[in-house]
Structure 1
Amino acid sequence: MEHTLTKHYKAIIWDWNGTLLNDLEICIDAMNMMLHKRGYKLLEKQHYKEIFTFPVRDYYERAGFDFEKHDWETIALEFIRNYRDLIHKSLLHDRVNEVVSYFQTAGKRQFILSAMHQDFLVETISARLDPSKFEIIAGLGDHYAESKAGNAHILVDKTGLSKDRIVMIGDTIHDYEVAHETGIDCILVADGHQSKERLETTGTKVLNNLGELIDLFN
């Protein structure tokens, strides 16, 4: 079926963080700033990709935080502040513009779905990509739902397409779970926040990088 994907799918729902935006390093740095401050062991990239998960509170516990000692809300807000301070260092993954343009030329409708706050999401995208290439940019807050899965349902409804004509492209098991809950297909890219071995446990198609999407759809 792979050679028929271009004809089959009419809409692409992109995850942003880790899929289009290469923010892996700053996420590790933001967490390590917090761990160092409290005398905990710092994370290395491979270990991070093995423990990162949703809900993120579980990831924080795997990273070393004991929420019997630390207030969850305080820790979560501190990470967001660190992340915002570092976001200027994050660039797009290799070939993002090429891949987005490829789907645009092929007549695919494109959307972005993220767990980032709506205003910050639009700001972050606009600094790196032409937002007009995406019909809807859906983050949390604003007039969208209060969860990524909720936003996914809204986006699917807004397309007016049959669910089998829509595919989500992400970089985490959670992206697969959101797609599965919404009833759409999912392709994962092992160039973000979780290892390829973990992604392959979903049983869905897993690529090494975004560039492989063009080969997959051709």
Structure 2
Amino acid sequence: MARKQFDLIVFDWDGTLMDSTSTIVRCIQAAARDLGLPVPDKTAASYVIGLGLHDAMQVAIPNVDPKFYPRIVERYRHHYLAQDMDLTLFDGVGEMLTDLRQQGYFLAVATGKNRVGLNRALHTSGLLSSFDATRCADETFSKPNPAMLHELTRELGQDMQRTLMIGDTTHDLQMAINAGAAGVAVEFGAHPVEELAALKPLYSAASIKSLHTWLDQHA
């Protein structure tokens, strides 16, 4: 079947391809607890997923002495690295990516993870060769700034109007809007469905299976 709308499909990582939302929330909370700082609730900790790590900690744990933020980041990494080898992809991710590659799409990742963290995740998940390009928050501006999408489209020689961003947070969808790309939401990650819907994505997927089906029929 001929492609209908897009040439480049860009995925967020955490909460979109990798089932990591609850682990990230617990690690943010543990980092605050380690330092005797106010512990953000699940909603506050979930909201910052997708942002660059330093930005995320400043939003999740606001109004503390700035000297604490490097220490919060260090404690977060300590807790996360103790668990990230056990994280798994959502069911069906590998098959979906293989199918999309076979259909000739360019595939990319735009993530709030840092480069070391994404490379580690790509290696452990077996997806190192699945993407044509990737961009991380420590390499450019954090979401929802459109820089990641601008850089990916330039690197791959693609048209923003034929680029689709897929993510589980309003940061992902707002980045797509800011860049002039299309957006699709997934409902099984960090942000509530009603907040995602307010940004009017082309589609909102309840599972990887439904996302895969929609991409086959509409992308």
- Name the residue aligned to 2:86: 89
Distance between the aligned counterparts of 1:135 and 1:201, measured in 2? 31
Q: Is contact 2:134-2:152 (8 Å) kept?
A: no
Residue by residue, what CA displacement relative to the aligned partner does 1:107-140 show, whole Å, maximum 9, x if unpaired?
1110111122212211211110332121112224
Residue by residue, what CA displacement relative to the aligned partner does 1:52-103 show, whole Å, maximum 9, x if unpaired?
4655222234xxxx41597223223322222222212211111111211121
- Please give the residue correspondences for 1:105-120 in structure 2 after superposition, counting only pairs within 5 Å: 105-120=102-117
CA RMSD between the two structures: 2.6
| Runs of 5+ unmatched residues, structure 2 | none
- Please give the residue correspondences for 1:17-36 in structure 2 after superposition, counting only pairs within 5 Å: 17-36=14-33
Larger CA deviation: 20-29 vs 165-174: 20-29
Distance between the aligned counterparts of 1:5 and 1:185, measured in 2? 19
- Name the residue aligned to 2:60: 59
- Name the residue aligned to 1:155: 152
What secondary structure, in the 3-state scheme, does the structure 2 residue paired with 1:91 have?
Answer: coil
Given candidates 190, 200, 205, the residue that maps to 1:203 is: 200
Distance between the aligned counterparts of 1:67 and 1:32, measured in 2? 15
Given candidates 158, 164, 167, the residue that maps to 2:164 is: 167
Larger CA deviation: 80-89 vs 109-118: 80-89
Residue by residue, what CA displacement relative to the aligned partner does 1:5-55 show, whole Å, maximum 9, x if unpaired?
9422111111111111111121122123234443856745xx357744655
**What is the Cα deviation at residue 215 of structure 1?**
2.1
What secondary structure, in the 3-state scheme, does the structure 2 residue paired with 1:116 have?
Answer: coil
Q: Is residue 77 of structure 1 aligned with residue 74 of structure 2?
A: yes
| Runs of 5+ unmatched residues, structure 1 | none
Percent identical among aligned pairs is 18
> CA 1:51–1:133 in structure 2 vs 1: closer, same or farther (change >3 Å)?
closer
Distance between the aligned counterparts of 1:92 and 1:5, measured in 2? 28
Given candidates 135, 140, 144, the residue that maps to 1:145 is: 140
Q: Is residue 190 of structure 1 aligned with residue 161 of structure 2?
A: no
Q: Is residue 134 of structure 1 aligned with residue 141 of structure 2?
A: no
**What is the Cα deviation at residue 159 of structure 1?**
2.5
What secondary structure, in the 3-state scheme, does the structure 2 residue paired with 1:167 have?
Answer: strand
Distance between the aligned counterparts of 1:30 and 1:22, measured in 2? 14
- Name the residue aligned to 1:216: 214
Q: Calculate the TM-score normalised by the size of structure 2.
A: 0.82
**What is the Cα deviation at residue 145 of structure 1?**
2.7
Distance between the aligned counterparts of 2:190 and 2:104, measured in 1? 29
Distance between the aligned counterparts of 2:39 and 2:140, measured in 1? 36
Structure with higher RCO (Cα < 8 A, 6+ apart) = 1
Q: Calculate the TM-score normalised by the size of structure 1.
A: 0.82
